[in-house]
Structure 1
Amino acid sequence: MATGATSDGLAFGPVNGADDSSWSGIPACEMVEKPSTTQHEGSNTCVTSSCPITSSRLCTVGMYLSARLAEVGIEHLFAVAGDFNMPLLDEIVKNKRVSLISCCNELNAGYAADGYARARRAAAMCTTFNVGTLSALNAVAGAYAHDLPLICIAGNPSSLEIGTRKFIHHSLKSGYDLSQRRIYRETTADSVAIEHAETAPMLIDRAIASAIHHCKPVLIEVCVNISTALVPAPTRLPVIINKTPPSNMLLVEMAVNATVALLKGAENPVVVVGPQVRAAEAEEATMNLVHMLGCSAAVMADARGLFPEDHPAYIGVYMGKVGFPSTCVERVEAADAVIFVGTEFSDLITCGYNLHVKWEKAVQVGIDRLKLPSQDFGAIYMKDFIQALAEAVNSKDYNSRQRCWHSENKMATRESVTSFLSNGGIANGFGESANGNYSGIANGDGKAAKGEIAKGVNAGGETVNGDNAIANCISGCVASLGVAAAASTCNADGGGLPHPTTSTIKLNGTNLISNDKDGIICPLSVYQMDRRLAGEPLTLAAVQSTVQRILTKETTVIVDWGDSLFTALKLNLPGGARMEIQSKYASIGWSLGATLGFALGKKGSRTITLIGDGAFQMTAQEMSTMIRYNVPAIIFVLNNGWYMIEECIHPNPLYNQIQQWDYYKLVDVFNGTSSSSKGKSQGFRVTCEEELEGAMRSALVEGDGVKLIDCRIDKEAFSEDLLFFCQTMSAYGMRKENTKLTL
């Protein structure tokens, strides 16, 4: 069978003799034989030579679209039903490979699709003409800003209305209203209107290919009377999309040579990883480049998880002056060569463009272009360039820098004391950071110990090796608090800090370090133990510490803007874990809808959400959808009664103070504990660390369902990072003259 291709990079080919229904998900009983003598309204042949359909059977336009969605990995369709899209939804759900997720409103459906696209290759949502599609526009704009393939499907009025002067409900004006399509032009890579069945297969294929190829949303309008029209059923896998066209290899060679020349003589180069690495599918290539260079690697706040944080080259999060730890900021800005891979600089993610990098020694690698200090290159795609550069620098001169990983990148920092396990050691009994060599451990006398891998210092100040290192050290540090420590087995392989594999350390009968069935290690610092004993009010540091202890390699942390972000910045993500934030578009409330989509898109993972109470109030009803579909998620609502990020920028209680809700009661309001909702969702109200610990123990017992933890935090307990960030952003926004950027 011959193959064909379109100009959009869409190629077609057979699927090893697979039957129609074996891959498309369309039940054979839903197909009909092609009529031999009559011409159906949906013509039985395609009008373009590029269409691959040669089936002897027919399906509806809606079923065809559903098959194509399943083909690119979309198993859930987020939708809000309306009279113009209900017949289409009826056809789509006939495909058993696509499940309908009925959302509370279109904006939240768009946010959910955004989260789903981050977990999968693409996402789709379905709305009704104008009122529904325009309601979702804000979410689509966010997906466009963040390079997410989001297929927006709109049910339109009947094609019979085209050319008439009738005023159709939901319209902005009389006649067949095209406002929806025109408005969406700024937020989509392509838009198609299915007004005739004959062109439906070609236009559907084109739109989906455009979404995947450009990593941007597309709009597919389907007239209500065409959604059930018959078209040739797909018989073979058609969408083999060349997402990235081949680079101009001559330009690649020139760019690599120029970059190698820039790197020549650099003693402390740094690679900074940005979010576009995901769209370019260049994660492995970037990690290999770091390995070949033997240099340090940092990530932007919106790229966490795209470079493994347990890699010995990892030094932290670069976000201007609010990056974490502060040593990461210092290392990046002191580097004599910086390679920015897939970074996108915005005022928010750079703290008001508060960057002090040596731009004359910087290389910026985009998805399809490259910027050097003295020249720019186009027609160069990220993955091709990174692979070519890695090959070019694969020499002993570069690899010798790997000796610095353990001695420099893993030094302990004062900022990490409250998480107990610091980047380079364990905090001592006096809250001081261990001055360790990769895993130095402080002694029981409160003195910093220079340790080696898998070594510790016991209560008597003696260095111990191997199995009992951590337990002996901890028992010495916290003996005055009545802590009994059992022996711990260390896994010190040089790839990270030694972790106990089986351990129990108790404080007044409560496990402080333990392993559950998922291998979660739960340490608390001495400082935190002391605070919990005193029963002091809940703090952001306590929330951060609690989240840290339940992170695994399967965890994704989804955060909104504000102290949700600055709390999450201090988390140490295990290898494989991720963090998602809408860094550029920054639509407050995005994270709750995104949690719904991401949790459905990444099965078997643990999704944790950090969201402020103001952001939660904007999209709260989507928690009802999460309960309805028994979505597993743990949601921390940081409840201080204010839009605190706004208050720090421009104080005024008139519009920054919000109405107080009993958020934990919403689980009952949405019937989360009823038998009809499988009764697995729970709500908790916590005001101190002890209550937070109890809530987490209860939440982790039952993995399914929504666990909402209403964290009551004092208004004045916001972080210093948030205050500095807001003051800097306020000054940047109110500046009297424009600053020249050298990006």
Structure 2
Amino acid sequence: MTIDTNAAMPSEHTHLDAPTRQRPNITKAPSVRSPIVGAETRPVAKSDTAVTYTVGSYLAARLSQIGLKHHFAVAGDYTLVLLDQLLTNKDRKQVYCSNELNCGFSAEGYARAHGVAAAVVTFSVGALSAFDALGGAYAENLPVILVSGAPNTNDRAADHLLHHTLGTHDFMYQLEMAKKITCAAVSITFAAEAPEKIDYAIRMALREKKPAYIEIACNLAAAPCAAPGPISAVIDREPSDSESLNAAVTAAADFLRSKKKPVILIGSKLRAAGAEKEAIELADALGCSVAVMAAAKSFFPEDHPQFIGIYWGEISSPGAQSVVDWSDGVVCVGALFNDYSTVGWTAMPGGPTVLTADPNRVHLDGREFGRVHLSDFLPALARKVEKRDATMIEWACVRTEPFPEDAAKPDAKLIRAELIRQIRPLVTANATVIAETGDSWFNGMKLKLPRGARFEIEMQWGHIGWSVPAAFGYAVGAPDRRIIALIGDGAFQLTAQEVAQMIRLKLPVIIFLMNNHGCTIEVEIHDGPYNNVKNWDYAGLIKVFNAEDGQGSGLRATNGGELADAIKLALANHDGPTLIECIIDRDDCTSDLISWGHLVAKANGRPPSPQ
């Protein structure tokens, strides 16, 4: 069956929130972030039509056709037949997770590396746990396809009470919940409708760069259905509206022509737009300074001569705030402003001096241009602009070179600054740094990234513990990259089990676990006894995960010499992860975290507005 890409689906089974109705952007993404890596676009061969497809094998075929090499799963009785059906497709591996929350975050990490991901869980007790991670994928603009098993269709008709439910006859609550955190949510209760609904959900996830939800009744996974039609009906992108695009480019060029000292500010939605190369093209043409927001670190090359660092209010890179605040025109490219990224609403460009270019719209000075893809808009604008390099002249006046850092004495007590100094050489062009919510954010900002290196944080959702399963999923999706994870001890305790899955798949992830006996980010926002955690033998935990056949390494560093030795062992271990437990003082955190925490706490503590 070939699906009309503009066809609406029945309202009781599908969902697309109006505020997030964005157009697709499939092309031109960087290699580790291609939205559909290796997608198969050929028509279905004549021999394919003779194959008997089931609902499960149809889903498997489509997941392979959009380029997935893996899908993540936690088994449950409502999904067992579906998992069997997915295993019949040899183009993709089934990767198992310790629990459904970790499964969702593993898929989210995979989507960061590979462009799209899928996870399979059981009904209710599995899916509701995975919904936390699905909410994160929605907030972070990542196309994660969550597939859930569901009760037998006969039980729905017979009004039976079933396990893994709320103990009522209503089995629709999970679908209704899914509608709030996805761009498309479908429930398959008839095999004949499966192809259309599966295609719809996948198409919307790829177009919107948001998660989608597919619910399949357990007795339908092996039921026959139609064969898939050409995958182009699912992945083809609707082009920008030519008139809107031309008008937006003209207006933006006029805007920039009227400015003497513009600056470009790169935000995290640039990845969702697949327009990183195009942003470089505009920067080269305009010649102005380029700053990135914290959540967009690595989305613009840090070795580019116009890069001036991180813009993050008063905790910006040295000189970056001065340049951005001094400019008379800020071109916000894929920017996302929230209380975290604006440091408690203290650093938010606004007004007539701001041009906003989002993945599918352009806004400036009271004018709105819709259905304009960022990957089309940026190069078209680059061809229209004139050089405006005043902010580069200003940057030359205010920039400061960092002082060279001397190595600490090998037997000196380990401090955070020495830890980061030793991590820096590990960040090569082939490395991805995954920084957990907390002081790891601010430590990670101090790492200079060579071209090709990637940096991942979860600043919009901000789920503590995200990084462990995300690092696992990322490593599965990008096996040729060096994965470096910066994780605090409090966060690690939430999702530690997925280190066992790294061991299972022999993934050489390097984890720097900062053991400072608590959740330091919460301490700096608002301290209390609830920020303390029970200490673990983190290095010793790896022995538990290894059991009889694992090759993971658990090491402990209390000084610089021990840390240097541990890093050498980590680089030599190619058969599993290495966790380096770094013992540092509780109060040894960045000054940036202290400043940021104070301002965020101030924003949180504002009194209610008068009624």
Return the TM-score normalized by structure 1: 0.75
Partner of 2:51: 57
- C-alpha change, 1:20 and 1:296, in structure 2 (3 Å) is farther
1:408 Cα deviation (Å)? 4.4
- 1:723 equivalent to 2:594? Answer yes
Q: Is 2:180 aligned against 1:309? A: no
SS at match of 2:474: helix
The residue that corresponds to 1:614 in the other structure is 490
Residue number among 524, 527, 532 corresponding to 1:651 in the alignment: 527
- Alpha-carbon deviation of 1:592? 0.7
CA distance in 2, matches of 1:211, 1:278: 15
Shift of 1:16: 6.5
1:583 aligned residue (451, 459, 466): 459
How far did 1:101 drift? Answer: 1.1
Report the equivalent of 2:126: 132
Shift of 1:411: 8.1
2 CA distance for matches of 1:725 and 1:307?
A: 24
Task: Indicate how the Cα distance of structure 1 residues 82 and 4 shifts in structure 2: closer, same or farther if over 3 A, else same.
Answer: closer
Aligned to 2:542: 667
Partners in 2 of 1:411 and 1:693 — Cα distance? Answer: 35
- Structure 2: how far apart are the matches of 1:579 and 1:300? 12
Q: 1:253-268 residue pairs with structure 2 within 5 A?
A: 253-264=246-257, 266-268=259-261
- Aligned ranges 1:123-162 → 2 under 5 Å: 123-162=117-156
Cα deviations by residue, 1:332-365 (Å, 9 ceiling, x for unpaired): 1111221010011010111112116474321111
Q: Is the 8 A contact 1:315 1:410 kept in 2?
A: no
Structure 2: segments with no counterpart, 5+ residues: 8-22, 27-38
**Runs ≥4 residues deviating over 6 A:** 9-14
**Equivalent of 1:328, from 320, 327, 332?**
320
Answer whether contact 1:20 1:236 (CA < 8 A) is retained.
no
Task: Report the Cα distance in structure 1 between the residues aligned to 2:380 and 2:85, rounded to whole angstroms.
Answer: 47
Query: Match of 2:102?
Result: 108
| Residues 1:356 and 1:96: Cα distance change in structure 2 (over 3 Å) | closer
Deviations 1:526-545 (A, max 9, x none): x22xx225x22111111211
Q: Answer whether contact 1:320 1:353 (CA < 8 A) is retained.
A: no
Distance 1:403 1:321, change over 3 A: closer
Q: Which residue of 1 aligns with 2:6?
A: 7
Q: Which residue of 2 aligns with 1:546?
A: 422
Deviation of 1:237 after TM superposition, in Å, equals: 4.1
The equivalent position to 1:297 in structure 2, one of 283, 290, 297, is: 290
Tell me how far apart the structure 2 counterparts of residues 261 and 184 of structure 1 sit (CA, whole Å): 43
Provide the secondary structure at the position in 2 that maps to 1:716: coil
Residue equivalent to 2:35: none
**Corresponding residue for residue 601 of structure 1:** 477
Deviations 1:484-520 (A, max 9, x none): xxxxxxxxxxxxxxxxxxxxxxxxxxxxxxxxxxxxx
Judging changes above 3 Å, is the alpha-carbon distance between structure 1 residues 13 and 625 closer, same or farther for their aligned structure 2 residues?
Answer: closer
**Cα offset for 1:735?**
1.9
Distance 1:230 1:210 in 2: 24
**Deviations 1:599-646 (Å, cap 9, x if unpaired)?**
111120011111110000000111111111112211111110011111
What is the TM-score when the length of structure 2 is the normalising length? 0.90
1:562 aligns with 2:433: no
Seen in structure 2, the aligned counterparts of structure 1 residues 13 and 94 have a Cα distance that, compared at 3 Å, is closer
* Aligned twin of 2:19: none
* 2:30 matched residue in structure 1: none
Counterparts of 1:374 and 1:168 in 2: how far apart (Å)? Answer: 54
Contact 2:337 2:348 in 1 (8 A): no
Are 2:581 and 1:704 aligned?
A: no
**1:62/1:151 CA distance change after superposition, 3 Å:** same
Q: 1:553 to 1:402 in 2, by over 3 A?
A: farther
Q: Secondary structure at the match of 2:428?
A: coil
Correspondences of 1:35-74 after superposition (within 5 Å): 55-74=49-68
1:413 matched to 2:400? yes
Counterpart position of 1:351: 343
1:87 shift after superposition: 0.8
Contact 2:182 2:210 in 1 (8 A): yes
Aligned to 1:183: 177
Secondary structure, counterpart of 2:157 in structure 1: coil
- 1:238 Cα deviation after fit: 4.6
Q: Report what 1:285 is aligned to.
A: 278
Deviation at 1:279, TM superposition (A): 1.0
Gap change, CA 1:582 and 1:160, over 3 Å in 2: same
Determine helix, strand or coil for the equivalent of 2:90. Answer: coil
Matching of residue 217 in structure 1 with residue 221 in structure 2 = no
SS at match of 1:609: strand
Alignment of 1:495-510 (within 5 A): none
1:486 is matched with: none
Counterpart residue identity of residue 532, structure 1: K
Distance 1:7 1:130, change over 3 A: same
2:264 aligned with 1:271: yes
Give the conservation status (yes or no) of the 8 Å contact 2:517–2:532.
yes
Q: SS of 1:162's equivalent?
A: helix
Residue of structure 1 in register with 2:86 after alignment: 92
* Shift in CA distance, 333/738, structure 1 to aligned 2, threshold 3 Å: farther
- Matching residue's letter, 2:584: I
Q: 2:353 aligns with which of 361, 370, 375?
A: 361
CA-CA distance at 1:176 after TM superposition:
5.0
Q: Which runs of 5+ in 1 are unaligned?
A: 22-54, 418-426, 428-524
Query: Residues 686-717 of structure 1, C-alpha deviation per residue, up to 9 Å, x if partnerless?
Result: 01111111100111112331110101010121
Matched residue, 1:387: 379
Instruction: Confirm or deny: 8 A CA contact 2:323 2:395 kept in the other structure.
Output: no
Shift of 1:403: 11
Q: Quote how far apart the aligned CAs of 1:236 are.
A: 5.0
Report matched runs for 1:428-577 at 5 Å: 525=405, 527-528=406-407, 531-533=408-410, 535-577=411-453
Quickly say closer, same or farther: Cα 1:687–1:309, change in 2 above 3 A.
Answer: same
Amino acid aligned to 2:400: T
Distance 2:46 2:342 in 1: 52
Amino acid at match of 1:617: Q
Contact 2:334/2:358 (CA < 8 Å) preserved in 1?
yes
RMSD: 2.5
Structure 2 contact 40–66 (Cα < 8 Å) conserved? no
Asked if residue 692 in structure 1 is aligned to residue 568 in structure 2, the reply is: no
1:328 maps to a residue whose letter is A
In structure 2, do the counterparts of structure 1 residues 14 and 581 end up closer, same or farther at CA, with 3 Å as the change threshold?
closer
Summarize deviations over 1:451-498 as a string: whole Å, max 9, x none. xxxxxxxxxxxxxxxxxxxxxxxxxxxxxxxxxxxxxxxxxxxxxxxx
